[in-house]
Structure 1
């Protein structure tokens, strides 16, 4: 019969209240079933797994070094790794809370009790003897306490904490995706501005020559004052466009320095040499909607948040039921200090306690309803995250395809401008066109070249946006967090 309470306690300890997590809800099942992105119509796309280190496909060693440097030293990554360590510590706390706790103690007590009547019933007046009793008490031992997880509240808490750890790992991967894309976009923008500044400088030189020749013709009476003013106005506009380009160059250098964990200006010497904007590869591998949902870090983070929220319902539900705790005291002690090492002076005490807040005026039920609402909120957030991820992917794929077409048209316009300049140069040699006309045509050719440079940067940035939307650019978060 003595084993019956222990058997009942064991059966209760196997109970786990609250709903079991059944996985994330199905979202955009039609897109998953279709297996392809709607906007992936450009012939450059091919159905293949994306590249984890996609920036290497741009073929720019400086960019590759900057991205790797940022992933290794950016405060954004350090912060994400710190949240992982915090979540792991919380998980460990949840796990050890289910185990007994033991603490050591040493105590000394001196007591003096006056006027103790040890004979008679009326004190000294009736013939009794009054004495003062004093004694010392020494004790050395320990206290142990344990609260069995009868209804699984502790197990649900550990389940929630494990899901939170996985959520923080996904957040780290998401930070890597965002950081790699941000570094690449800043680098492309820097090279674009540097290239346009160089082209503008050449255009300024050309327009200055045209203005000087027009003034000579005006002095000779073969050009009008309107011609001079027109070229002067064009030169002033070009000079005005050059001024903000210098500020933009400084901004992008500062941004790249901060992204790599350095102070602004630290990369100026590294990025002073002007190089062309890197071009995306001719073939761009892309995955499918199902792979995107399973792979993209922010989606995985939202799914783990949903799992953690589901487990929290059980945590709050368990508080509605009775709790049993055990306290045990073990020690050696007595009235002499030597008793603390005397095995014959052993003392043991076991004190079970039952507590049940059944009259809480609905407080625990309200907490359960709050946890259920938070779980529903996490589910809605997961569905929204999936839909937003698919929207990002479709938008970026469409943008990339249109940017490619735009660049092809602008390249053709640039070639046409180059042919016009070459043909007019022959006319100048034949004496049927003026040098001023040739300089004006050259200015138009520079304008077409600048348009191509801008379109090239926009195409490369749209390629970067595709990689970010597909959730690429993160390494194994477990290895990264262990550094």
Structure 2
């Protein structure tokens, strides 16, 4: 796909009159499929009833999830750092803009002296005063500085898109961590119920052993099964605590505050009814990371054009207006005012190849920006395909697991009934319950992963950045002033 020189792909002339490509020109050489290889069921891609993806977390109808993501988008330290980068980029853009205007300096001076001649016993004194306003201006004769300003404009816009992309990633990470906690708590609850059931069975076998109706081996085997289940509890608790602490960091708050929120929710949220996937070209326009890579290409091309213009002549104007007087009273005398204006036109004749090397460096930067754009586009399409595939495969897996859990529940009931009738031993009962426990935990894990696949799809579609972008828009207010 990529050519040796990305500049050629963008239709850029490298002779000092380069034009910055439009977004459409940047996109036109990237192959774009008409649709996706993986398709969702009709019920899940009914665009007529599809929700907007900008605030996708609301479709799960989970107020705790909504509150967590809103807090993260407001308080997350990394997101605030990304927002500060917008301020930095805007200031750098302001520096480039200031180069278009003259610089003016003013100064005031005064001096005095007094001397005495001992031979004549006379005293003499002198004074001098001066004031001046000096100005210098490098005229943007061939538009070099305006190209640098254009590059800064695109760099600022790319920084804003990076901020939006950070929002997208943050919202998805908060949701995934939240689901991981809920899933682990559900599995821990099932495990605790299993341990309690096994402990009851162990108590029965101990009573049977004491009454001479059982043996020591049977009791020890049941004890092993009980301890095996107990041994899983610390691992689940550690996972829950670590995920809770990670969620607190994401939300920019303390674990205690997160715990209070998590206690309000016990079950995993429901799946959304509809998802509007759209076509690949639309998806790429929605993704901030793709737009950021696009702006980086445009910024690099504009900077290349500015560097090329270093070969052209430059015009510098300088001048000053001032006054000089021997007495303070004559300071404002019009006859004491002086002024001058100097203009100079310079052009590089020989610089040992420095300008050529700078152009080569910037050409390589354009290539890198374009290749990064290509990679970002391909990654974006792959992420959508992977999410669609994961949703379809997880749905198939869950259907199979639900049937397996139903069969395991029936097997456990039958084994317990036959044990009470004396047809099966206690180990058979415990084995069927252990199988049921494992399948129930796997089913919860798969449901969590199906929800994660939906979140990944929303993320890959570029959802999660529009609603809280006001702060970044404020940072862009002066972009074209």
Question: How far off is 1:230 after superposition?
Answer: 2.4
Match of 1:40 in 2: 39
For residue 204 of structure 1, the aligned residue among 181, 195, 203 is 195
Question: How far off is 1:103 after superposition?
Answer: 2.0
Alpha-carbon contact 1:139-1:334 (below 8 Å) kept: yes
Alpha-carbon contact 2:64-2:264 (below 8 Å) kept: no
Where does the alignment leave 5 or more consecutive residues of structure 1 unmatched? 1-15, 113-132
The alignment partner of 2:36 has SS state of coil
| Partner Cα separation in structure 1 for residue 226 and residue 125 of structure 2 | 107
Deviation track 1:188-222 (CA, whole Å, cap 9, x = no partner) reads 00111111111111111011111121222334444
1:175 equivalent to 2:166? Answer yes
Question: How far off is 1:373 after superposition?
Answer: 1.0
| Partner Cα separation in structure 2 for residue 204 and residue 283 of structure 1 | 39
Question: How far off is 1:20 after superposition?
Answer: 0.8
Where does the alignment leave 5 or more consecutive residues of structure 2 unmatched? 1-14, 115-123, 476-481
**Count of residue pairs the alignment pairs up:** 447
Greater radius of gyration (CA)? 1
Match of 1:328 in 2: 319
TM-score by length of 2: 0.86
| Partner Cα separation in structure 2 for residue 227 and residue 26 of structure 1 | 73
Question: How far off is 1:357 after superposition?
Answer: 3.1
Match of 1:73 in 2: 75
Match of 1:397 in 2: 388
Alpha-carbon contact 1:47-1:288 (below 8 Å) kept: no
| Partner Cα separation in structure 2 for residue 18 and residue 242 of structure 1 | 69
Distance 1:305 1:427, change over 3 A: same
The alignment partner of 1:136 has SS state of strand
Alignment of 1:89-238 (within 5 A): 89-109=91-111, 135-238=126-229
Match of 1:82 in 2: 84
Alpha-carbon contact 2:147-2:305 (below 8 Å) kept: yes
| Partner Cα separation in structure 2 for residue 73 and residue 362 of structure 1 | 50
| Partner Cα separation in structure 1 for residue 419 and residue 209 of structure 2 | 19
The alignment partner of 1:270 has SS state of helix
Q: Which moved more, 1:54-63 or 1:214-223?
A: 214-223
| Partner Cα separation in structure 1 for residue 273 and residue 298 of structure 2 | 41
1:445 equivalent to 2:436? Answer yes
Q: Which moved more, 1:234-243 or 1:335-344?
A: 335-344
RMSD: 2.6
Deviation track 1:423-472 (CA, whole Å, cap 9, x = no partner) reads 55665777766777556544443333222211111111111111111111
Match of 1:340 in 2: 331
Alignment of 1:247-396 (within 5 A): 247-272=238-263, 275-396=266-387
| Partner Cα separation in structure 2 for residue 225 and residue 462 of structure 1 | 49
Deviation track 1:129-177 (CA, whole Å, cap 9, x = no partner) reads xxxx985331223111111111211010011001011101110110000
